[in-house]
Amino acid sequence: MPSPVLARAALAPHTTLRLGGPAERLVEARSAREVVDAVRAADRAGEPLLLLGGGSNVVIADAGVPGTALLVRSAGHRIEPDGDGTVLVTVEAGEDWDELVAATVEAGLGGLECLSGIPGSTGATPVQNVGAYGVEVADVLVDVELLDRRTGTISVVAAAALRLGYRTSVLKHRDEAVVLRVRFRLRSDATSAPIRYAELARALGVQPSDRVSAQAAREAVLALRRGKGMVLDAPDHDTWSVGSFFTNPVLPAASISDVPGLPTWPAGPERVKVPAAWLIQNAGFSAGHAGPGGRVGLSSKHVLALTNRGDGSAADLLGLAREVRNGVRTRFGVELTPEPVLVRCAL
């Protein structure tokens, strides 16, 4: 059975921002069965339900949330041969993501190494289609096991049915389906995915599209992320964030053709992806820029991370996010979109 119910329990300690008010009730589920039981109990009672994994991609309102907050703490994974030099890795939704990546690299598997250092739980990765350094979960995802809250049934859904896109899927911003398990197909040759990201290729001293050992790629990615304050470190307030707060805009190529010096990447017919960090910096926001009362601010290492400096509130953070969004809109006419899920709050 799930853990005992805690009344008016703080949620901030369960998020990487350390922000947000309490839950009316807090329950912890340590297995997929307990997740199902807790979700069904909340649905039978007709009460609101918030699922929290690692709390690394969520901003919770200072007023907190009604109903039940469910901490998904199921853990564990299994590896099965799949032929042709690949294996299938089935993972419980509550498994810590970076611990999973580390375990696959140690087991001589390749495919997840460029996603090292990303905080959160494995169950959240297909929802967001987590990606970094040229690799996305979509590249290796086979399927997910879902609980359908409308029917109460459990089924396995193929990756293709999730319509995985840039930091999105059909599961994002919807709560009808709960991820119970995730399955990936990885290589068993201990080599990385092709190195597609120029910064990572430079760090490794290789050419784009080259492969390296999965371990070497993981170490290089972790070093790059630490340099940007993107690896969790409790004493370092630059890491009290949700990582990149805004997604990189995908725009019609003609709409930004007159912006000098703007880096772009192809993103489909007559469309390009532009770096949100460049837009923020060139709209006049520098690393370390302070938000309301200095309680929140841009990371001193990376302008795309909005951080809690220790005594901030969700309202403070959202105020800073609005300032940045409005500044970019005024300067470039581009609307930045927040990447994290905003719970009972909005920009």
Catalytic residues: 167, 244, 339
Query: Three-state SS for 22?
Result: strand
* 58-60/341-343 β-pairing: parallel
Give the Cα separation of 47 and 141 in Å (integer). Answer: 32
Question: CB–CB of 121/182 below 8 Å?
Answer: no
**Which element (helix H / strand E) includes 279?**
helix 276-282
Q: What is the DSSP code string of 197-262?
A: -HHHHHHHT--TT---BHHHHHHHHHHHHHHTT-S--TT-GGGSS-S-SBPPPEEEGGGGTTSTT-
Give the Cα separation of 84 and 104 in Å (integer). Answer: 18
**Nearest-5° Cα angle at 142, 138 to 146:** 100
Give the Cα separation of 17 and 55 in Å (integer). Answer: 8
Question: In b/e form, how buried is each residue of 291-311, taking b as 16+ CB within 10 angstroms?
Answer: bbeebbbbbbbbbbbbbbbee
* 177-187/86-92 β-pairing: antiparallel
The one-character DSSP state at 343 is E
CB 43: neighbour CB atoms within 10 A? 14
Give the Cα separation of 138 and 235 in Å (integer). Answer: 33
| Both structure tokens of 21 | 């008010």
Amino acid sitting at position 131: G
